[in-house]
Amino acid sequence: MYSISFAQNVAVVNGKSISAKELMWAYKKSHNGNVNVPYDTLQAYLNLYINFKLKVLDAREMGLDKSADYQEEIRTYEDALATHKKAGVNYKDNDFLLNEYREGVLMFNVSEKKIWNKVQEDEQAVNEFYVQNQKNYNKPLGEVRAMVIADYQQSLEEKWLKSLKQKYQIKINENELKKLARL
């Protein structure tokens, strides 16, 4: 049996709730306002959203939210939102918008450290990945380098997400998700 607090949430990631309202706001924003969503589509989106939340959690655990650069970037964005509000531009979901920005910057920063920089800094790892997966590439590394790098980055991200899913507890409220879906 779910607790009362879990009833309105579609998921809980490491004790932090993802409300039905938050999920649908994010979905609607990234899908041109469409909210008539089949269950399997919404379930797939929730999985992507959980992956995003896991990366943000990892960034916070690494202390990336404490860096001066991050703090300054967030202050600048908050000031811009406040200026728009004073000018009469009122964002209905200001809290969601601000949180999305904060988390988006963290997700970008942690992805840069965990994935993108690794490719730039470790040429040997890229070469080893190419050799281990050479059956997928019918050409010399020089000709398929961009594809190899993309695949290597995907591999790093998959391993990272797998470790995060083992590290943090995730609960999905299927009943609430089904209520949101338009079957």
The three-state DSSP-derived secondary structure of the chain is CCCHHHHCEEEEECCEEEEHHHHHHHHHHHCCCCCCCCHHHHHHHHHHHHHHHHHHHHHHHCCHHHCHHHHHHHHHHHHHHHHHHHCCCCCCCHHHHHHHHHHHHHHHHHHHHHHHHHHHHCHHHHHHHHHHCHHHCCCCHHHHHHHHHHHHHHHHHHHHHHHHHHHCCEEECHHHHHHHCCC
Q: Which of 48-52, 55-59, 92-96, 139-143 shows the lowest mean pLDDT across its residues?
A: 92-96
137-176 per-residue burial string, b: 16 or more CB within 10 A, e: under 16? eeeeeeebeeebbebbbeebeeebeeebeeebeeebbeeb
The reported pLDDT for the residue numbered 95 is 84
User: What proportion of the chain, given as a percentage, has pLDDT over 70?
Assistant: 92
What does the pLDDT look like over 6-37, one tens digit per residue?
568 999 999 999 999 999 999 998 988 887 88
Average pLDDT over residues 52-74: 97
The reported pLDDT for the residue numbered 2 is 38
The reported pLDDT for the residue numbered 4 is 40
Mean pLDDT of the chain: 91
CB atoms closer than 10 angstroms to residue 59: 22
The reported pLDDT for the residue numbered 32 is 87
Separation of alpha carbons 95 and 98, rounded Å: 5
What does the pLDDT look like over 93-116, one tens digit per residue?
788 888 999 999 999 999 999 999
Query: Which CATH number does the domain housing residue 115 bear?
Result: 1.10.4030
Containing structural domain, residue 166: 4-180
What does the pLDDT look like over 144-180, one tens digit per residue?
999 999 999 999 999 999 999 999 999 999 999 999 9
Domain count, the chain: 1
The reported pLDDT for the residue numbered 88 is 64
Per-residue tokens: 76 = 């600048």
The reported pLDDT for the residue numbered 3 is 40
Separation of alpha carbons 25 and 28, rounded Å: 5
- HSE, CB side, 13 Å, CA atoms: give it for residue 110: 26
- Is the Cβ–Cβ distance between 152 and 124 less than 8 Å? no
